[in-house]
Amino acid sequence: CHISFAHMRNRAKHLTEVVEENDEVNGNEKIIKKKKLKKFWIKEATFDKPGEAESLIGNKWSKHYTHDTENGRTVYYRCNNAKRRGPQCSASIYLLYHADSDKVTVYKTEADHDHHDDKCRGIDEKVSNVFDSSYNQIMCWAHMKRKVDNRVCHIDDKQIAKEIVQDIEMLQLSNSIEVFELASTLFIKKWNANNKQKNQSILDFLNYFDNE
């Protein structure tokens, strides 16, 4: 599944190189090929307690490896929809356990999932062949809804959080990318205007929604 409200922007990024091993068999000889992959990481959120950050991992990710730095220990997680041995999904996350405090910061790759699960696929080449090249995928709605639910729960005012979710669900009625982008812009303007008390939890969600 793929989701894209708009391109990522105005968010801190950093680059790492990851060595990926890929097993190949040449006759009776097993060859391990290694290649370097560049990954751009985006800071998602910082939590006061490790358990709060670790609760985001769920069953979609599994621990891949750890690395100690001056800033603290980093624990990298891989997507479980890709086999452990072989090419990995471009999407991954890592947790930074700060050396000078109990805080934990969550980072995710700029790249989205690029594996294909035949049991649960989004609009892909097969569907595109049935329609034509003018068919545009707007989003995988279930994927978007899960991301929103994981974020909106951090809004302090639960009634406002409920109303925001209801407004977002209305975006599903958009029948084109142009209509969706216009409706999304109006959604952001509405809730920025309604947030007269400048509630930080609401501002954080709107910023996430606008950048995601």
Average pLDDT score over the chain: 75
**Ordered DSSP codes for 5-61:** SS---S--EEEEEEEEEEEEEETTEEEEEEEEEEEEEEEEEEESSHHHHHTTTTTTE
- In a domain, residue 124? The reply is no
Residue 4 pLDDT > 60, yes or no? Answer: no
- In a domain, residue 127? The reply is no
- In a domain, residue 123? The reply is no
Share of the chain above pLDDT 90, in %: 15
Residues 189, 104 share a domain: no
- In a domain, residue 184? The reply is yes
Residues 104, 18 share a domain: yes
- In a domain, residue 158? The reply is yes
Residues 155, 71 share a domain: no
Residue 153 pLDDT > 70, yes or no? Answer: yes
Structure confidence by residue, pLDDT tens digits, 164-189: 988 888 887 777 778 888 888 899 89
Count of structural domains, the chain: 2
Residues 167, 207 share a domain: yes
Q: Tell me, what CATH number does 26's domain have?
A: 2.20.25.80
Q: Pick from 3-17, 66-80, 107-121 the range whose average pLDDT is largest.
A: 66-80
Q: What is the pLDDT of residue 140?
A: 64
Domain encompassing residue 49? 13-109
Q: Pick from 92-101, 148-157, 167-176 the range whose average pLDDT is largest.
A: 92-101
3-class DSSP state of 128: helix
Residues 104, 28 share a domain: yes
Residues 156, 102 share a domain: no
- In a domain, residue 188? The reply is yes
Which residues are bridge partners to 92 per DSSP?
A: 78
Structure confidence by residue, pLDDT tens digits, 18-74: 545 444 445 555 554 555 567 788 888 899 999 888 888 878 888 988 989 899 999
- In a domain, residue 118? The reply is no
CB 120 within 8 A of CB 2: no
- In a domain, residue 170? The reply is yes
Q: Looking at this protein, which amino acid is placed at residue 111?
A: A
Residue, of 102 and 113, whose pLDDT is higher: 102
Residue 100 pLDDT > 90, yes or no? Answer: yes
